[in-house]
Structure 1
Amino acid sequence: MTSTMFRPGSPVVLAHRGGTVGVAENSRQAVENMLACGVTTMETDLRATSDGVAVLAHDVTLERRFADPRRVSDVTWWELDLIRDVDHEPALRLVDVLAEYPGLRLNLDVKSDDVVAPTLRAVREAAAADRVCLTSFSSRRLAIAERVTRGRTVLGTGMADAARLLAESRGLVQLARRSTTAAPTTGRAVQVPLRFKGVDVVTPRFLELAHERGHVVHVWTINDPGEMHRLLDLGVDGIVTDDPAAAVAVWAERGLEPAPL
């Protein structure tokens, strides 16, 4: 690991979009609620406006959250800042979240090519490399982030890399070797669902292989306390959840802190 944001053996709670139970996703209210719970790591997504501003947004369009059919990439930040979502909350710029919440750690899924540069610029301007994890389904985007950040921030693994690890864990070594991308360096955050297309992903062997290579494994999106306990027993390094308060209760039952010290 390039920073202390994620550490093997110190399971962390990651609030999915700040937590969506009882609060609006990707809102200041969500951030403040999770921090009040004792959770300091937010898992969220980034998209770029037409004028190159990185904003917290999962969807390609504004339809679900803002009742606006346009794509995020079709509006300027000035236009987006004038409207409110279905919970009457404004959109958030990454640069503002980094500035307003200096104790907040951000696990950022870079959703498209056009948001890579605005994201890297915002992180650099906020001097926040040590409290950010950059991840993406795209290994190519992560390769760009690795070159630019020069090991100063934690990185995730792309889908191809996670699939290779899954293939190896299931004994499909030849399939794993067919990948045309180089295996990522050690110290990545491998962030995966419990299952993918009916196949169990998070198994003892999968965790063993990831840990042997210096990675941490985070599982998304888990809201059931019983499942959280099971995964922690299995040895996962973090859980992404919509319900940070429930996760904090699970961590407390186990004598754990929900965030790295």
Structure 2
Amino acid sequence: METAAENTRAAVAAMLATGVTTMETDLRHTRDGVAVLAHDETLERRFSDPRKVSDVTWWELDLMRDVDGERALRLDELLAEQPDLRLNLDVKTDPVVGPTLRAVREAGAAGRVCLTSFSSRRLATVARVTRGRTALGMGMADAFRLLAESRGWRPRVPGPTGRAVQVPLTYQGLRVVTPEFLATAHAHGHVVHVWTVNDPSEMHRLLDLGVDGLVTDVPAAAAAVFAERGLAVAPR
């Protein structure tokens, strides 16, 4: 977020103030099995504590404050406090899958979350449990299968688990988001979300190309771009 620290109530409020109603965030687990919003494996960058998120209990984490006086945010809190918020949730570890699914189920939020991960194996586990009740992203192995297919190859790997293909513009110097890649993904019934796009001109270019969604650190810029194009800021 451009006006507030990531994964805080202030960040959520700042995003909603722009008219954007879908938030992408990451989930990790505490030692006692609470799903919390956290990108980094350790607490160093935000709370100046070298321990891993998984090394502390929720009680310990709840006592910590960042430089803005904000504390960590639990997934179940966010779901309860923002009943209209849509969430794209990257489950960072295997142990956070259970607490995440429990929080989503107890909040009755299956219809407003998309669960994602770099791990195709982890997403396959989620798919077996959710049985189509929750939208899923696609692991990187499956995304690269689509990329290979778009370049004329036919890799022998299992088919993709999720409908949402969430990819960077480039990967290790290789351009991922091309007209051919989009055509291949769309032909298989997938939607393509591109991360992380902060430049308005690049947002326009990608929307012209046919991408279905953008992940950005500057929701105000994205909202302005969508407004210029007469598009609703809504998930697909």
Normalising by the residue count of structure 2, what TM-score does the alignment of the two structures yield? 0.97
Q: Which amino acid aligns with 2:203?
A: M
Provide the residue aligned with 1:242 in structure 2. Answer: 217
Provide the residue aligned with 1:76 in structure 2. Answer: 57
Which is further off, 139-148 or 61-70? 139-148
State the alpha-carbon separation in 1 of the partners of residues 7 and 70 from structure 2. 9
Secondary structure (helix, strand or coil) at the match of 2:90 reads strand
Secondary structure (helix, strand or coil) at the match of 1:137 reads coil
Secondary structure (helix, strand or coil) at the match of 2:39 reads coil
Q: CA deviation at 1:43?
A: 0.3
In structure 2, relative to structure 1, the CA distance for the partners of 1:125 and 1:111 (3 Å cut) is: same
State the alpha-carbon separation in 2 of the partners of residues 260 and 67 from structure 1. 35
Provide the residue aligned with 2:165 in structure 1. Answer: 190
State the alpha-carbon separation in 1 of the partners of residues 153 and 49 from structure 2. 45
Provide the residue aligned with 2:184 in structure 1. Answer: 209
Provide the residue aligned with 2:200 in structure 1. Answer: 225
User: Greater RCO between the two (CA within 8 Å, min separation 6)?
Assistant: 1
Query: Of 15, 37, 40, which aligns to 1:56?
Result: 37
State the alpha-carbon separation in 1 of the partners of residues 235 and 207 from structure 2. 15
Alignment of 1:151-190 (within 5 A): 151-173=132-154, 176-177=155-156, 179=157, 182-185=158-161, 188-190=163-165
Q: Which amino acid aligns with 1:188?
A: R
Secondary structure (helix, strand or coil) at the match of 1:69 reads strand
Pairwise CA RMSD: 1.2
Q: CA deviation at 1:260?
A: 4.4
State the alpha-carbon separation in 1 of the partners of residues 6 and 52 from structure 2. 18
Q: CA deviation at 1:88?
A: 2.0
Note if 1:27 corresponds to 2:2. no
Provide the residue aligned with 1:95 in structure 2. Answer: 76
State the alpha-carbon separation in 1 of the partners of residues 123 and 92 from structure 2. 11
Q: CA deviation at 1:36?
A: 1.2
CA contact (8 A) 1:190 1:217 kept: yes
CA contact (8 A) 2:22 2:235 kept: no
Secondary structure (helix, strand or coil) at the match of 2:95 reads helix
Normalising by the residue count of structure 1, what TM-score does the alignment of the two structures yield? 0.88
Structure 1 segments (4+ residues) deviating >2 Å: none
Q: Provide, for residues 17-46 of structure 1, a one-character-per-residue CA deviation record: whole Å limited to 9, x for no partner.
A: xxx102110110111111111111000000
State the alpha-carbon separation in 2 of the partners of residues 88 and 68 from structure 1. 15
CA contact (8 A) 2:22 2:87 kept: yes
User: How many residues of Structure 1 are paired with residues of Structure 2 in the alignment?
Assistant: 236
Q: Which amino acid aligns with 1:70?
A: R
Q: CA deviation at 1:137?
A: 0.8
